[in-house]
């Protein structure tokens, strides 16, 4: 515009076109205009070749494929020169450019541009026109038909392009979608000139082309007709309902389009002056230029701000910002993370704060509070917390690497993905972020060199005790009654990261010490996801199964005369009670029955006032194994009984009062209490009262209580036969070789107690018992699988041995401590399992030595045992039926094997018929004597120390054996009396080695076979 005189319109156009071509050549590409598409112009790129091609001595253009010029002077690319004049007049071209609309309409002014130049102008200005056409809402003026029909000059077209687009009118009489605006098309294709359409006034109008128009995310119109003479946009109801499978609902004020499959509203229209006008949807993606102020003004929202230099007016937000920044600074300082990652640190701080208990929320986490209000929300991630800023290795899939490339990439851990389930890691080499679950963490190794913080003791370690890792589903407790970038696949996460933390109530805040973030330990909660129990009577009463269980318990209480309603005497204090609901399972894991039990709150009792002695014996599992061995070898039958409401049969000697149970309150017993006549579950003396009653009844039938196990009762008959009873609380096992007396005993017990005959012994105290002609197999497969499920180890990698042979455990090994209670519960479960799994006996004894102060390395040893159990869940003892009646004893010691106190670990294996019984042969001898089962041969004691054998048999080395003189005399006397004999066995054949040291796989498997262990679930 600075040229004087001003250039003509044609000269200005030529300069603009030449400049546009020069830019394309400088960028190394050229644009090809598709003349068939009038609204959506596609740009194609092709490599530019600066070399000229010459044919026959004349220049050759490789663009238009014509001789006489080169690519740099091709009119197809750069346009025609300003002084160029056509050889022929333009009457023919002019006639073709006009569209006949009305014979009486005045002829428009001739355009200063030809058709090719107009198309180039449309190409250059179409982005500007499309943007400007979207800035407004509905209007009555759009780019008229004169623009596309080439009627009028360019200035009128440019002026019209600035104006707003017309709305869409819902028309039930239109057969097709129609518009006169070519700029709104997303895709477009021209049509033959002979296609016409009849409009509302009855006249025929030509169709210039068809295409698709995007009205919103959910609504796209296909096969829209471009009718240049049409002054409005028509939306055909019939075509829309067929193409989109939608339904149209009309009312007096609006019209709505709903998808038939999903029921989602894809569009709506409002009534305006008798017409239904389609409403436009304005979302942030369609209008990114809208500012917050404009949005607030449009929605009528008043925005108030605080005064200058008065942050106290916005105290809540300021305190939360300070909290986030303090946590973020701690995260960055602890692992020396650079400041450029401050944003990721703040996001990680928010993630951790949302999963930490808060005093304001009664020591619940914000995530817990959110789940209570929105149980099905997906906003809470299940990704377990890790150490921010630590070194990680992200696994690279085969699709993203070659055979010789490394399989993982070292990155820095920078938090958690907000839109994906994975960890966010950053590589300083590739300068990319990776979201993946297939990540190996080195939480003690910072990615950047770590500098000691001033005033911090680098050797002191602290621990979070209540940091919780959440799942997407709401946390289920035992008080719940059940009604009926670069993405990697999620890998199996470590046990201690997937489990939940059990909620504990504390009077003081749990953060009592300064804490280092690199020692945040996630604790586990052994939540068993199953039909579990509830203590809420009102909630349980809503379900028929639990209601029937409550009615059954009440009938049993009333039938037994458990209490009588009376007034509370002066000076007496009643104990409370509650309902406990549990589910009983069969050996295969299926539900057996639903059980409701009324339990007294015995913790409120006082010693000497409402209870005295409380001890009651239970059956020794060693005795159970001896009975199973005798039953297998002597062909005894095994029967199992269950006493319903066993504790209700005990007689109370003390005067105990209890509140009226929930659900039994009436107007007649208001302000009254229950005087207990029988023992009740929960009372401290109930186990003792029940066992005394059972002992009295059984002794009345002529049974004798054994001294080796007070829960074992034996009755010998004159014909040399016997019947045996062993009781474990309310579970009873009957065995012996006198079937008639056993059946009679069942009938007598049924008269005295409410007995349920369970038939042959199959499932007893978690032990699964299978019997065949070859013998009896005992395993705890269901117990093992439940334990693995509770600890999240069902998907772990199995181990071939329960303990690593190269690791020595020490009491203080320098590693971080773990939750003592959780460690003790887990080891306790393993101790009970070892009664039928002697193969884990040594490893369990080792980890049980550190129950007072367990550390991470000790927990690793426990995990190793669980991994071994995953390998052999069905392995157990097999009491083989054999003619070999002698008892074999293997004794061994590791000779100061403890690296802490240099003490020895002794191991004794007691085999009967080739199957392990227990570690003390003396108890077996006494038990067999009380059962009157004779031993035809003396017991054989195997030892791998020949010096010990010589000392036991002969009086040698007197001066060197004074410290064991008493033991030596005792052993020598038993050998002389023929109680047992001593024999030598090589060290590699010593069966007791499995109880004194960690062994390699081959030797370990060989010794487990010698213990009589098999896996009946393995294919033969």
pLDDT of residue 108: 44
Encoding tokens for residue 784?
Answer: 């093992």
Cα–Cα dist 667/843, whole Å: 61
Q: Which residues in the chain land under pLDDT 70?
A: 1-11, 14, 18-58, 78, 81-165, 281-290, 378-379, 450-537, 587, 809-814, 885, 895-925, 936, 953-970, 977-978, 1019-1020
Nearest to 578 by CA among 656, 657, 662, 658: 662
Distance CA 904, CA 920 (A): 18
User: Taking the C-alpha atoms of 67, 69, 70 and 76 in order, what is their torsion angle to the nearest 10 degrees?
Assistant: -90
CA distance 80 to 91: 20
Q: How many residues comprise the chain?
A: 1020
The DSSP code for 691 is: H
pLDDT of residue 442: 92
Q: What is the pTM for the complete model shown?
A: 0.47
Following CA atoms 291, 297, 298, 302 in sequence, which dihedral angle do they give, to the nearest 10 degrees? Answer: 120
- Decide: 914 and 880 in contact? Cβ < 8 Å: yes
CA–CA distance, 948 with 967 (Å, rounded to integer): 12
Q: Give the Cβ contact number of residue 236 at 10 Å.
A: 22
In the prediction, which pLDDT does 392 show?
Answer: 94
Chain centre to alpha carbon of residue 187: 45
Q: Which residue has the tokens 């119109």?
A: 221
Collect all residues with Cβ–Cβ distance below 8 Å to 995 and sequence separation of at least 6: 838, 841, 842, 845, 892, 905, 907, 908, 909, 919
Tokens at 176, concatenated: 């097709």
Q: For Cα atoms 955, 959, 963, give the angle at the middle one, nearest 5 degrees.
A: 95
pLDDT of residue 144: 32
Q: Which helix (H) or strand (E) holds 779?
A: strand 775-779
- Please answer whether residues 517 and 466 qualify as being in contact, where contact means their C-beta atoms are separated by less than 8 angstroms: no
Distance of CA 813 to the CA centre of its chain: 32
Q: In the structure encoding, which two tokens stand for residue 833, read together? A: 């399992």
For the beta carbon of residue 82, count every other beta carbon within 10 angstroms: 14
Helix (H) or strand (E) holding 171: strand 168-171
Among 19, 7, 127, CA closest to 78: 19
Give dist(CA 257, CA 292) in Å, integer: 30
| Pairing mode of beta strands 204-206, 53-55 | unpaired
Under 8 Å between Cβ of 779 and 768: yes
Q: Which residues contact 569 (CB under 8 A, 6 or more apart)?
A: 657
Those residues with Cβ within 8 angstroms of residue 589's Cβ, 6 or more apart along the chain or in another chain: 782
- Tell me what pLDDT residue 913 has: 59
Please tell me the distance from the alpha carbon of residue 304 to that of residue 293, in angstroms, as a whole number: 11
115, 249, 217, 133: which is closest to 182 by C-alpha? 133
Residues 6 or more apart whose CB falls under 8 angstroms from that of 189 comprise 36, 37, 209, 210, 211
CA distances, 23 to each of 3, 31, 52, 375, 624 (Å)? 21, 11, 20, 59, 95
Q: What are 70-123's pLDDT values in tens digits?
A: 777 787 776 776 566 666 544 444 333 333 334 344 444 455 556 666 666 666
Burial 159-169 (b: 16+ CB within 10 A, else e): ebbebbbbbbb
Nearest-angstrom CA–CA distance, 229 and 402: 61
Instruction: Show contacts of 805-808: CB within 8 Å, 24+ apart.
Output: 805/998, 805/999, 805/1000, 807/861, 807/998, 808/899
Distance between CA atoms of residues 684 and 523, nearest Å: 33
Q: How far apart, in whole angstroms, are the C-alpha atoms of residue 167 and residue 231? A: 11
Residue 112's pLDDT is what? Answer: 56
Separation CA 132–CA 167 (nearest Å): 15
Euclidean distance between CA atoms 884 and 915, whole angstroms: 11
DSSP annotation of 899: T
Which three-class secondary structure state does DSSP give residue 133? helix
Residue 9 exposed, middle or buried by CB count within 10 Å (0-12, 13-18, 19+): middle
Q: Could you state, in order of their start, the residue ranges of all structural domains in the chain?
A: 1-85, 117-304, 313-519, 537-560+575-765, 775-944+985-1015
Bridge partners of residue 981, in order along the sequence: 940
Three-class HEC string of 587-607: CCCCEEEEEEEEEECHHHCCE
Give the helix ranges, DSSP H, for 455-598. Answer: 495-498, 537-540, 544-560
**Digit-coded pLDDT (tens) for 386-396:** 999 999 999 99
The answer to whether 726 touches 715, Cβ cutoff 8 Å, is: no
Whole-number pLDDT of residue 1001: 82
Residue 537 bridge partners (DSSP)? none
Cα 767 from Cα 972, distance rounded (Å): 39
Q: Which residues of 589-626 are buried (b: 16+ CB within 10 A; e: fewer)?
A: eeeeebbbbbbbebeebeeeebbeeeebeebbbbbbbb
Residue 455: other Cβ atoms inside 10 A: 5
β-pair partners for 426? 412, 433
pLDDT for residue 903: 64
The answer to whether the beta carbons of residues 931 and 912 sit under 8 Å apart is no
Cα(925)–Cα(354) distance, integer angstroms:
62
Mention every residue, 6+ apart, whose C-beta is less than 8 A from residue 771.
632, 638, 760, 777
Q: What is the pLDDT of residue 345?
A: 94
């Amino acid at each position: 515009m600075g040229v004087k005189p001003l250039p003509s319109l044609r000269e200005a156009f030529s300069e603009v076109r030449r400049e546009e071509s020069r830019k394309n050549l400088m960028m190394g590409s050229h644009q090809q205009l598709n003349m068939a598409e009038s609204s959506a112009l596609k740009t194609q790129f092709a490599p530019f070749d600066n070399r000229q091609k010459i044919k026959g001595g004349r220049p050759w253009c490789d663009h238009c494929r014509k001789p006489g010029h080169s690519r740099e002077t091709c009119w197809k690319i750069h346009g025609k020169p300003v002084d160029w004049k056509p050889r022929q007049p333009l009457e023919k071209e002019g006639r073709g450019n006009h569209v006949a609309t009305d014979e009486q309409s005045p002829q428009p002014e001739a355009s200063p541009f030809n058709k090719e130049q107009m198309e180039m102008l449309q190409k250059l200005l179409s982005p500007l026109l499309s943007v400007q056409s979207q800035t407004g809402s509905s209007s009555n003026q759009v780019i008229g038909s004169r623009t596309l029909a080439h009627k009028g000059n360019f200035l009128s077209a440019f002026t019209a392009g600035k104006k707003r687009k017309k709305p869409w009118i819902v028309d039930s009489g239109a057969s097709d979608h129609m518009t006169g605006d070519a700029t709104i098309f997303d895709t477009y294709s021209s049509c033959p000139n002979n296609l016409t359409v009849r409009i509302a006034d009855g006249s025929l109008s030509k169709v210039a082309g068809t295409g698709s128009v995007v009205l919103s995310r959910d609504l796209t119109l296909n096969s829209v007709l471009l009718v240049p003479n049409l002054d409005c946009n028509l939306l055909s109801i019939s075509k829309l309902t067929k193409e989109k499978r939608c339904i149209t609902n009309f009312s007096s004020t609006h019209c709505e389009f709903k998808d038939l499959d999903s029921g989602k509203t894809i569009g709506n229209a409002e009534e305006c002056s008798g017409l239904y006008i389609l409403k436009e949807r304005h979302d942030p993606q369609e209008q990114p230029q809208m500012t917050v102020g404009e949005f607030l003004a449009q929605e009528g929202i008043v925005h108030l701000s605080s005064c200058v230099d008065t942050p106290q007016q916005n105290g809540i937000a300021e305190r939360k910002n300070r909290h986030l920044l303090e946590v973020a600074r701690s995260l960055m300082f602890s692992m020396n993370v650079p400041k450029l990652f401050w944003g990721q640190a703040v996001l990680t701080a928010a993630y951790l704060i949302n999963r930490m208990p808060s005093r304001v929320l009664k020591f619940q986490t914000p995530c817990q509070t959110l789940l209570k209000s929105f149980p099905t929300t997906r906003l809470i991630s299940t990704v377990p917390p890790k150490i921010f800023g630590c070194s990680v290795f992200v696994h690279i899939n085969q699709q993203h690497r070659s055979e010789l490339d490394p399989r993982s990439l070292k990155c820095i851990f920078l938090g958690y993905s907000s839109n994906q389930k994975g960890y966010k890691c950053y590589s300083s080499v590739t300068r990319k972020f990776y979201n993946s679950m297939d990540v190996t963490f080195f939480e003690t190794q910072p990615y950047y060199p770590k500098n000691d913080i001033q005033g911090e003791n680098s050797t002191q370690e602290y621990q979070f005790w209540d940091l919780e890792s959440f799942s997407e589903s709401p946390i289920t407790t035992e008080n719940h009654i059940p009604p009926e970038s670069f993405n990697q696949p999620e890998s199996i996460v470590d046990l201690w990261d997937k489990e939940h933390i059990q909620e504990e109530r504390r009077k003081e805040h749990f953060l009592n010490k300064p804490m280092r973030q690199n020692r945040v330990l996630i604790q586990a909660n052994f939540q068993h996801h199953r039909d579990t129990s509830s203590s809420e009577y009102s909630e349980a009463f809503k379900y028929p199964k639990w209601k029937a269980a409550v009615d059954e318990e009440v009938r049993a209480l009333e039938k037994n005369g458990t209490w009588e309603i009376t007034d509370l005497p002066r000076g007496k204090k009643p104990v409370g009670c509650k309902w406990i609901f549990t589910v009983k399972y069969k050996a295969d894991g299926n539900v057996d029955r639903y059980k409701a039990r009324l339990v007294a709150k015995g913790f409120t009792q006082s010693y000497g006032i409402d209870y005295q002695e409380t001890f009651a014996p239970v059956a020794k599992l060693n005795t159970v194994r001896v009975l199973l061995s005798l039953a297998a070898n002597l062909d005894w039958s095994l029967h199992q009984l269950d006493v319903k409401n066993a504790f209700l049969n005990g007689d109370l000697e003390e005067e105990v009062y209890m509140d009226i149970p929930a659900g039994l309150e009436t107007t007649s017993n208001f302000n009254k209490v229950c005087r207990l006549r029988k023992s009740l579950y929960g009372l401290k003396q109930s186990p003792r009262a029940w066992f005394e009653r059972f002992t009295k009844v059984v002794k009345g039938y002529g049974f004798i209580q054994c001294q080796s196990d007070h829960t074992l009762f034996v009755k010998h008959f004159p014909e040399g036969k016997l019947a045996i009873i062993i009781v474990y609380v309310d579970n009873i096992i009957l065995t012996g070789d006198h079937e008639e007396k056993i059946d009679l005993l069942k009938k007598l017990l049924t008269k005295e107690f409410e007995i349920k005959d369970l038939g042959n012994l199959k499932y007893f105290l978690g032990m699964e018992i299978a019997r065949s002609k070859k013998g009896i197999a005992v395993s705890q497969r269901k117990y093992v699988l439940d334990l693995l499920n509770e600890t999240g180890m069902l998907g772990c990698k199995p181990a071939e041995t329960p303990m690593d042979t190269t690791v020595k455990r020490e009491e203080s090994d320098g590693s971080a401590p773990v939750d003592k209670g959780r460690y003790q519960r887990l080891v306790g479960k393993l101790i009970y399992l070892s009664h039928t799994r002697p193969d884990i006996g040594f490893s369990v004894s080792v980890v049980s030595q550190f129950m007072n102060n367990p550390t991470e390395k000790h927990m690793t040893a426990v995990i190793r045992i669980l991994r071994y159990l995953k390998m052999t869940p069905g392995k157990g003892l097999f009491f083989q039926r054999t003619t070999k009646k002698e008892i074999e004893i293997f004794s061994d010691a590791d000779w100061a094997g403890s690296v802490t106190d240099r003490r020895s670990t002794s191991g004794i294996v007691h085999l009967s018929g080739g199957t392990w019984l227990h570690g003390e042969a003396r108890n077996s001898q006494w038990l067999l004597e009380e059962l009157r089962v004779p031993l035809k041969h003396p017991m054989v004691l195997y030892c791998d120390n020949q010096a010990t054998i010589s000392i036991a048999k002969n009086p040698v080395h007197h001066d060197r054996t004074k410290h064991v003189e008493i033991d030596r005399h005792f052993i020598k006397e038993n050998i002389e009396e023929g109680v047992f004999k001593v024999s030598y066995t090589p060290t590699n054949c010593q069966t007791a080695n499995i109880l004194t040291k960690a062994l390699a796989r081959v030797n370990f498997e060989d010794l487990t076979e010698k213990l009589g262990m098999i896996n009946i679930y393995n294919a033969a």
